[in-house]
Structure 1
């Protein structure tokens, strides 16, 4: 599709979000979207444009022509729907990560998104109300339990009155607010008791007394995460809930089936993988740099939300990430990226006793690595199911609740009936 460069420049100059995201930035941004090349001159959020000059830019946002031609289409292939994932294929943001890329990451991603929108005619989807506002009545409370000699005070919300409990775990660096739509679903409330947890250190679950978290890099491993979940189940006296986790929770779903089948009656792993060998080059420590605020994580996660999901719900993903402590995302991600490998312990899973269903969004980045992802899990663990959710992405429980609803409902019903 053809990009009108002159019109895009006018759009960028007038874009209110871009002006907010570029506050305190001063410099030249060279934008290269295929054959379209121009400079943005930015002064504390005020944006003007010009033809590309000979002067060295402060930041370069570049998508090579062969890549741009694949991105600027109505339905791009997996991995080319946003700037964050397109960097796997050669898109670049050329500048110093902690001082120029991370603080303004939302701006650099937005430039590309507005360029794609201009080329394709795509528009944000707007909703007027929450889908289940009339039944949005969760009850929040705290429970205390010990893990590794520390007392944890853990927040959770409950909704519904059904006979089968379902425990929901959030993504890395986030909290139970991601499941607010799911907990409000009246049909699920009839059949299930729905519980969304804020893991320790996340959301309203403050770090435990005595943890001295400020003296170290936070790192959460598989054993610790599983102990938090099983400790919570025991403390709340849940009767073998169905466990549902997304992303890092999707990894934990299968690990719980392997190591703690006595605690759960089955699991749904949303965007969970078999192993992470293809992702071992991921630089998790860049998010531990003290110059990098939580907003960099929020901007990254917002960029990989579903491109057809409602804008307000996509924005909630960024809000939740940005309001959690910066160190929690890399702490969780240590396990997600480097601590999960079912080639080692997947043989412990007995799906006849503990059913396991993997739900993966068509646009989840794991779809780029079929040897690692949920399809590999199902191929190697007898009885495990792998289901692709068309059009959905990594944060589907929160950014596209109505699109996620039929897939989740079917998975829960199958496990409950087993």
Structure 2
């Protein structure tokens, strides 16, 4: 980039999720086939900033990354002060679909990381007709928590710093120091109880397991990516999941952890480039058939 002004444009869109109005913040950049990018639990769209700033990517793709309700610049819904935030599969599905509807996106590619990768696989099973392909990053069928999620919302502990501590163990040792800390900073800024609410979905909803066999990769390709240093969604977890989806492809990313697009964007880039190429190749095959 030669200009000091980045090409990313941030805007808000109003939409309804299961009858509840939301004001959702999103960022976009580029032109071409739309790619909707989903952030991890407890974070926001800043995790995708390197992809949205990549001129080679944005030359042929329109990237859109949005903050889930309660995250980043997307405020909680009215009345949140009397509610407990616990993300559910149904609410997550409805939010992604409502965003695509509001933006008028015609069968975009869906790229999600961690809980975003989990919901990408749910959408591949339940709503494949709405998308042209799925890039599921650090995604697997299910993991029970190996930690106490209630530690992330206690009166005697700083939830954001506790979340960052968990995150630090899932970043590969090869990550540049600056991006390691930038990645952790997003979790330090997370709203009270938000990381816990996301992890409730991630560690307690096992409904995807029985749905994996219904995913038809002949219709919409599924490409799973996993960092070799991910201890939350391990390479073994990712392989188990890919093996359960007939036709799914899998790559284990060297020197990367659970937040690859954020923790080490240079190392992540060639893997993501290949993933986009896989989506384009499949689309070309379908078009010529």
**Is TM (by shorter chain) over 0.5?**
yes
Aligned residues: 280
Residue of 76, 83, 98 corresponding to 1:231: 98
TM-score relative to the length of structure 2: 0.92
For 1:309-388, what aligned pairs fall within 5 Å after superposition?
A: 309-366=175-232, 368=234, 370=236, 373-388=237-252
Q: Deviations over 1:303-328 (max 9, x none)?
A: 42221111111111111111120311
TM-score relative to the length of structure 1: 0.64
Q: Deviations over 1:131-183 (max 9, x none)?
A: x575831001011111122111100001111x210011100010001111111
8 Å contact kept, 2:226–2:235 = no
Distance in 2, Cα, partners of 1:416 & 1:326: 40
8 Å contact kept, 1:166–1:194 = yes
Shift of 1:379: 1.0
2:167 maps to what in 1? 301
Distance in 2, Cα, partners of 1:288 & 1:343: 28
Shift of 1:356: 0.7
List gaps (5 residues or longer) in structure 2: 283-289
Residue of 47, 50, 64 corresponding to 1:178: 47
List gaps (5 residues or longer) in structure 1: 1-131
* 1:290 lines up with 2:155 in the alignment: yes
Distance in 2, Cα, partners of 1:248 & 1:193: 22
Distance in 1, Cα, partners of 2:71 & 2:33: 26
CA RMSD, Structure 1 to Structure 2 (Å): 1.7
More relative contact order, 1 or 2 (CA 8 Å, 6+ apart): 2
8 Å contact kept, 1:270–1:360 = yes
- Aligned with 1:365: secondary structure? coil
1:167 maps to what in 2? 36
8 Å contact kept, 2:227–2:254 = yes
8 Å contact kept, 2:227–2:235 = no
8 Å contact kept, 1:377–1:384 = no
- Aligned with 1:364: secondary structure? coil
**Which consecutive segments of 4 or more residues in structure 1 shift more than 3 A?**
132-136, 366-369
Residue of 58, 72, 80 corresponding to 1:203: 72
